[in-house]
Amino acid sequence: MNLVVDVGNSFVKLAVFRADELKEKRIVAHKTLLEAIKLLKTEFPLLKNAIISSVGHLTPVQIESLKADFKTVVLDSQTTLPFINAYTTPETLGVDRIGLVCAAVKQFPNKNSLIIDAGTCITYDFISHKNTYLGGAISPGLSMRYKALNNLTAKLPLLELSQPEDITGNSTAASIHSGVVNGVINELQGTIAQYQNKFSDLTVILTGGDAKFLSKQLKSSIFANSNFLLEGLNYILQLNSNE
């Protein structure tokens, strides 16, 4: 069995896989990571292999503890991957983006695929039907846009995500919601359209923390999968394990 450790900026996602089947998923704080893994080991004694994908920070003690308990892959630009990487700066490519592309390779082989991860940032990653990763784009996510309006202006308030009632906001709050949410929706639809014009038979996958909110409003035919990154990381671990 495999353990996936996806370390984000705010928390850590833990996932247990038996082959391709997701058996358990938990979200824990960074400081409670080792305790949470100890509990998982008790519940799933067949856990043997682990992969660490870190866009946040683990302490050396946490990393060494994982390596002591599991046959561990620390995902980086040198890890064996199931695609050709045409990114000109592979050492700067986020491990989360690598994991998402691997999931697309696994689930949609030999397809032109655009993976959109709507989280803190919105990332776009494209892999061709020739199994070549070409790159993508990065833009501010929903929460970042709300925070930027508050942080970089003198009087605009910090608001929580909310569906705008109308494109024309009749108050400052309504105007912010319209600008942020409709701005992101139009960005997504426009980007998808650009890719569809350039690449035939495009498969679009939407994932990330804001995927559920956004998927209800997108006109394009997309696959929404909140576990897409975890599945991709598990696939990488399978490729890099001898068993």
Q: Do 122 and 145 contact (CB within 8 A), yes or no?
A: no
Percent of the chain with pLDDT over 70: 98
CA-nearest of 12, 10, 6, 9 to 28 is 12
Given the residues 20, 69, 96, 201, select the one marked as catalytic: 96
Total number of domains in the chain: 2
According to the model, what pLDDT value does residue 57 have? 80
H or E stretch including 214?
Answer: helix 211-215
Q: Is residue 240 part of a domain?
A: no
Task: Please give the Cα distance from 71 to 58 (Å, whole number).
Answer: 17
Q: What is the tens place of the pLDDT at every residue in 73-106? A: 999 989 999 999 999 999 999 999 999 999 999 9
Lowest-confidence segment of 19-23, 54-58, 145-149, 223-227 by average pLDDT: 54-58
Residue 26 shares a structural domain with residue 121: no
According to the model, what pLDDT value does residue 13 have? 95
> What is the span of the domain harbouring residue 21?
2-74
Confidence grade of residue 242 (pLDDT, cut at 50, 70, 90): low
Residue 204 shares a structural domain with residue 227: yes
Amino acid letter for position 178: S
Q: Is 4 annotated as a binding residue?
A: no
Q: What is the tens place of the pLDDT at every residue in 188-229? A: 999 999 999 999 899 999 999 999 999 988 876 789 898 999
Residue 96 shares a structural domain with residue 211: yes
Q: Is residue 241 part of a domain?
A: no
Residue 60 shares a structural domain with residue 88: no
Q: What mean pLDDT comes out for the span 112-130?
A: 96
Q: What mean pLDDT comes out for the span 3-10?
A: 91
Q: Is 7 annotated as a binding residue?
A: yes
DSSP 3-state assignment of 163? coil
- DSSP letter for 179, please: I
Residue 115 shares a structural domain with residue 215: yes
Last residue of a domain, which of 74, 108, 126?
A: 74
Residue 59 has pLDDT above 90, yes or no: no
Q: Is 135 annotated as a binding residue?
A: no
- DSSP letter for 156, please: P
Domain of 190: which CATH number? Answer: 3.30.420.40
According to the model, what pLDDT value does residue 135 have? 98
Query: Residue 149 burial (CB < 10 Å; 0-12/13-18/19+)?
Result: middle
Residue 98 C-beta-side C-alpha neighbours within 13 Å:
30
Q: Is 213 annotated as a binding residue?
A: no
pTM of the model: 0.92
Residue 243 has pLDDT above 70, yes or no: no
> How high is the mean pLDDT of the chain?
94
CA-nearest of 2, 8, 7 to 23 is 2
Task: Please give the Cα distance from 96 to 148 (Å, whole number).
Answer: 23
Angle among Cα 143, 184, 210 to the nearest 5 degrees reads 50
Q: Is 96 annotated as a binding residue?
A: yes
According to the model, what pLDDT value does residue 55 have? 63
Residue 55 shares a structural domain with residue 146: no
Task: Please give the Cα distance from 52 to 209 (Å, whole number).
Answer: 20
Amino acid letter for position 43: E
To the query of whether residue 166 is one of the catalytic residues in this protein, the response is no
Return the residue matching tokens 């709507």: 118
Task: Please give the Cα distance from 216 to 212 (Å, whole number).
Answer: 7
> In this structure, what token pair is assigned to residue 9?
């900026």
